[in-house]
Structure 1
Amino acid sequence: MAAEGTYPPLFTLKAVARDVWIADGPIIDLYRMPFPTRMTVVRLSSGDLWLHSPIAFSADLLEALQEIGPVRHLIAPNWLHYAHVQDWADALPAAQTWVAPGVVERAEGQGVRLRADHLLGDAAPEPWSGDLDQMIVPGSRLHREAVFFHRASRSLILTDLIENFEPARLPWHLRIVTRVAGNQHPDGSMPRDLRLTFDRQALAGAVRRMIAWEPARILIAHGRWYPARAVDELRRAFRFLDL
C-alpha cells in the first residue's frame, strides 16, 4: 500500500500541462474516511498563480511556487475545501481569497477563522476570465461546488464531483466502503450519498456544459486523476444521469 494512501512525493509541484501543475498533500480525515489531498495550480496569462483547493501549507512548496510566479489567488471551491486557505492567506497577505457559496457559513459554524475576500459565481472574474471558464454546479440542497476549465490546456478542474480512490492505496475495510459508495477506481464517480442531494436534471445540465467544453483531462482532489479521454470519463462517471 502506498504511504498512508497518498501520492508521493508530497508538497512537490508536478507538471500536468503548460502552465498547469498539481501538488499532492497529506491525508485529511473526513467522516472517518482518510482522504488524500491535491491542489491544482494554474499560471494565468498575467503570470499570476491561481491555487485551487490549497493543501496543507508548506514553506518549501511556497518557495517552489514563487519560482514560477507570484501567488495571487486562493480558491476554496466548495464548503469542504477551505481548511488550509487561511494558512496560505496568512503567509501571502497580498493574495486574494475566493470562496464558493456556503464556505463562509460552514467556517463560521465550525469556529474556523477564514478571510473570504470574494464569492465565486457562475461568471469568471476579471483576473482569470481570459484563461478559465467556471460555473457553480446547481441542483444540490447541500453541495455548491465551483468547477473550472482551463481553456489553453483543456483541463477540467473538479473537487468532489468525482472521486476515484485506488483500492491498492486503501485498507481492506475502506475498499469495501468506496466500492459501495461508487467512488472507487477504475469506476470513480460522485459518491452515492452526494448524488442524493442533487436534482438530477440540474446536475445533468451542468455535466453537459462540462462535456461541451471538450476537456482533454480531468483533475480531481481525491484519488487518481484522469490524464486523457476526459469526455468519455465524464460520460462514464455520470452515466446515472439522463445525458
Structure 2
Amino acid sequence: MKELVADRLWTREMPLSFFGLKVGTRMSVVRLSGEGGGLWLHSPVALDRRLREALEELGRVRFVVCPNRGHHMFAGQYFAAYPDASVFAAPGLSEKRPDLPFDGVLGDEPEPGWGQDLEQAIFRGERLLREVVFYHQESRTLIVTDLVQSADSGSPLLTRLVMRLMGIYERPGVPLHIRVGFRDKAAGRASLERVLCWDFDRIVLAHGLVVETGGKAVLREAYSFLS
C-alpha cells in the first residue's frame, strides 16, 4: 500500500493486462472521518493475502465501490472476504453482473456513510463506462477510473505504441475509444463543469501515474474535445 495522504488516503497498484497491453491498475483506499469511520475502497483489485493484511491494519472495510461498468473483475472476492461491507455498483453494472448481490447503485449524491468525506457525480455523455467520479475533500483529490488514463516510458513497447496512438502516452488524457463514445457532448460538458467546481489539485487514476498537482488544468485539457 502506498500512502498518498497521511492517515487518510492510500493506493494499491497491481499488474493488469488488457487485450495484451500491460496497463496496470490501481485501487484507492480512503479512511472515513464520519460516524462509524472505517475504510472506503474504490475500484477493487485482486485481494491477495498481503493486501488483506494491509487493509486490516488500516481499519474495517465498510464500503467497496465499483465505479464503472468495466472495473468489477475482483468484486466477488470482496463480497466473500467482507460480508459486512456494503458494495456499490456503477449504473448498469448490476445488469451486467447479476451474479453479484450489490447493495446499491451509485448516483450523483454520496451515500450517508461517506458523504462527510467524498462528493461524487456520474460523468454523463457516453454509455460504455457509465463512470462515477469522486472527490475526496480533505486531500483535494479527484478519484477517477478510466475517464483519464496515461502510459509512461516504463511501459512495455507494445503498450507505449498503442497508447501513443490513443493519445495518452506520457500525458494524462482520454483514450481514443472513450472519446469517440461521447455521443452527447452537451451532457459531457455539463458533467465536466460540475467536476471542475470541486476544489481538487491531485488526480488519482486507475491506469497511469498519479497527477500530484495541477489536476484541474489536466482534466480541462483532456476533455477539450467536448468543446
Which bracket does the TM-score occupy, shorter chain normalised? over 0.9
So what's the TM-score if we normalise by structure 2? 0.93
- Does residue 31 (structure 1) correspond to residue 15 (structure 2)? The answer is no
Give the aligned CA root-mean-square deviation in angstroms: 1.4
How far apart are 1:106 and its partner, in Å?
2.1
What whole-Å deviation, never above 9, does each CA across 1:173-230 have from its counterpart, x for those lacking one?
A: 3322111111221x22111111111122211221122211020100000011101111
Aligned ranges 1:10-49 → 2 under 5 Å: 13-18=1-6, 19-27=8-16, 29-46=17-34, 47-49=37-39
Distance 1:144 1:237 in 2: 18
- Does residue 192 (structure 1) correspond to residue 176 (structure 2)? The answer is yes
Distance 2:125 2:217 in 1: 23
**Which residue of structure 2 aligns with residue 227 of structure 1?**
212
On the 8 A contact 2:15/2:22 being kept in 1, the answer is no
Distance 2:60 2:219 in 1: 33
Q: Secondary structure at the match of 1:116?
A: coil
**Which residue of structure 2 aligns with residue 71 of structure 1?**
61
- Does residue 122 (structure 1) correspond to residue 137 (structure 2)? The answer is no
Give the counterpart of 1:51 among 37, 41, 51: 41
What whole-Å deviation, never above 9, does each CA across 1:42-67 have from its counterpart, x for those lacking one?
A: 00113210000011111221111111
**Which residue of structure 1 aligns with residue 73 of structure 2?**
83
Distance 1:229 1:82 in 2: 29
Number of residues paired by the alignment? 223
On the 8 A contact 2:22/2:155 being kept in 1, the answer is no
Q: Secondary structure at the match of 1:61?
A: helix
Instruction: For 1:117, give the aligned amino acid.
Output: D
- Which 4+ runs in 1 deviate beyond 4 A? none
Instruction: For 1:48, give the aligned amino acid.
Output: G
Give the counterpart of 1:183 among 147, 153, 168: 168
Query: Cα distance 1:240–1:88, how it changes in 2: closer, same or farther (>3 A)?
Result: same
Distance 2:176 2:61 in 1: 35
Distance 2:159 2:53 in 1: 35
Instruction: For 1:125, give the aligned amino acid.
Output: E
**Which residue of structure 2 aligns with residue 9 of structure 1?**
none
Give the counterpart of 2:84 among 91, 94, 111: 94
Percentage identity across aligned positions? 37
Instruction: For 1:153, give the aligned amino acid.
Output: S
Distance 2:188 2:19 in 1: 24
**Unaligned 5+ residue runs, structure 1?**
1-12
Distance 2:54 2:167 in 1: 36
What whole-Å deviation, never above 9, does each CA across 1:97-153 have from its counterpart, x for those lacking one?
A: 000012122224xxxx42211111111111011111001111113220010001111
Instruction: For 1:22, give the aligned amino acid.
Output: T
On the 8 A contact 2:172/2:218 being kept in 1, the answer is no
